[in-house]
Amino acid sequence: MNKFQTTNFMQKFSSILLVTSLMILVNNANAKAVPKSEPTQCIYPGPLGKTTLYNNSYVALKSDKKTPIETCEYGSSCRQDTRLNNGKATCVRSITNKKSPYYNYGCGIYTEHILFPTNLEVDCRCRVTGTGHKYLNPNDKNTDPMEGIINCANPTNQMKRKWPVKYGKGPKFDAWKKNGMTRWTGGIFRPETREFFSVVRWSDPTHVYSGSIVAWNIDTKDRRVVSGLYPDRRRGMKEFGSGYLSDGVQKNHPKQPLTGPSIMKWGNDGMIYLLAGGTGESSDKRREIIKIDPDTGERSLVWKAQNKKFSPKADEKYGQCYRPNGKYPKQDSVGIMALAFAMGPKNEFYLSMHDVRAGDGILKISPDAKTCTPVSVWGTAKGHNPGGKQKKAPAYKHVGKGKFIQFPVKGMLYHEDPEYGPMIYGVSKKDIYSFTLEDGFRALETFATGTYTGMGYTRMVYMEKNGRPFIMATGNDADTHVVVELGVGTREPLTADTINNDDPLFKSAYGVARSVNMNGALGNVNSMNMGGLMIDPKNPDIAYGVLIHGALVQLELSTFNSMIWSY
């Protein structure tokens, strides 16, 4: 090695040695400045003590309690728990959604809510009264301390009080409840527009069992009336959509849009198909199927049941399954259940028959509406025996083998099973049954013991999670929202942790039994009843449900935190 190479090597070596030495000195200085291994603790200098959300708590060393290592920002508090940050003192908040107008107003008292924070805009697990908080920041332009946070309040407060933050544009859907009696049933989702559709059945002195179809955009929170009547508080009754008008419930009642609406389904043509007619309750001989354009609200009649009083000539255009009658064999349709309606891939329709003369069964209406065919029939009906010399009429011939089902079928879903082929799933008395379309065979698909026993039926959807197929069946009088794993038969509540199930499809973050009623908007008289519930396809931890007064609730399944999402 020559002299030049030796000098150059020594210069590079010296430079590396100098940089390394400086880095060691800097690291040692930092270690002395913040001895991370030294125990820390939370300091609460303000007047609130350990309730902390609004008084600048901070993290300090136990050896130096006056010098903050980390100052907790407004809306956060210092916490120290063995389950949090390895037991070190740390600044935390119960809301992680920084875009929320209520990011600074989470739960400050309950440790569990801090350990399992929510990503919703409001933490309703500690705000069920909706009265706000006396320590709201007066400089925060997003909120009004005098108005409070009412996304968690009960329906009475929500309908009577001012909302400091707007939750969606469009008409308010509590208008029908303020106008009279209401019932929301089921719902359908359109992925292309990210809209959730539902139907409200309502009555007032001049409209009896009338119906209106509405939609929420679950991203923008905006609302719109699709088809039917809307009681505007300033302009009076407004009509949306056009076209077909249904008969009133009584002969003296005027025609109106969508009398007795029940369950909606999507057709393969992108249109909404609605089961309606009569009161929309129980079994009836006045059912009809109506097609509605989801964009324009235009209505057209697709099929109508024969009824000697209201539609005596329906059989001239539409296929009928007639009720047994010895004297007048083609006078009336069989009794068809409300809240039970399914559609197949060719726009064929499936209905649930419950008739004391004909029996119980699943009926198929052809896509052209010209034929009605029983695909599965059972029951103990005796037909019609009027006595005297009048002709008798037998009950329907039984179709299909398998389970005898005692109670009428409510709720229906078409599904093509990979092993057994096309079938209809239906709910009867808290159990799901399958009806194979090839031969009408009936099978029980759920277990009544060992798992959750509730069952909804106004919205039934086939879904898969981690390769496991299941049916989500939500909404009924008991406010039951359940998932049933197909092929296994176990069922679990969607709005509570599963008990007695080692491998549930849905499990919260808590690790112990918790219910949606642990607080939150759904635990404050905000019932969904028959209103539909849907899981967001883009975020399976988020569900949306229709409440009894027309608000849309957002539910975080992992924490059971729930808040009013659109109002």
Burial of 477 (0-12, 13-18, 19+ CB in 10 A): exposed
**Tokens of residue 186, six digits:** 């089921």
pLDDT exceeds 60 at position 13: no
Please name the residue that has the structure tokens 């929301």.
184
For residues 94 and 104, what is the distance between their CA atoms, to the nearest angstrom?
9
Provide the CA 469 distance to its chain's centre, in angstroms. 19
pLDDT score recorded for residue 136: 53
Segment 22-67, tens digit of pLDDT: 444 434 443 344 455 789 999 988 665 555 566 678 999 999 999 9
In sequence order, what DSSP letters do the residues of 213-273 get, joined into one string?
A: EEEEETTT--EEEEEEEEEETTTEEEEESEE--BPPSSTTSPPBSSSS--EEEE-TTS-EE
Contact 457, 471 (CB under 8 A): no
Q: What pTM does this model have? A: 0.89
pLDDT digits (tens, 9 = 90+) for 312-354: 999 999 999 999 999 899 999 999 999 999 999 999 999 999 9
Is the predicted pLDDT of residue 296 greater than 50, yes or no?
A: yes
Q: What is the mean pLDDT of the chain?
A: 87
Across the range 65-85, mean pLDDT stands at: 89
Contact yes or no for 539/120 (Cβ under 8 A): no
- What is the pLDDT, as a whole number, of residue 167? 93
- pLDDT tens string 229-261: 999 989 999 999 999 999 999 988 999 999 999
Say what the pLDDT of residue 549 is. Answer: 95
The pLDDT confidence band at residue 148, using thresholds 50, 70 and 90, is: low
Q: What is the pLDDT of residues 497-531, one digit of tens each?
A: 776 677 888 888 887 777 665 567 887 788 999 99
Give the CB-side neighbour count of residue 275, counting CA atoms within 13 A. 31
Q: Could you tell me the CA-to-CA distances from 486 to 26, 407, 463, 543 in Å, in that order?
A: 62, 22, 10, 21
Residue 495 confidence (pLDDT) above 50: yes
Whether residue 143 is predicted with pLDDT greater than 70 in this model: the reply is no
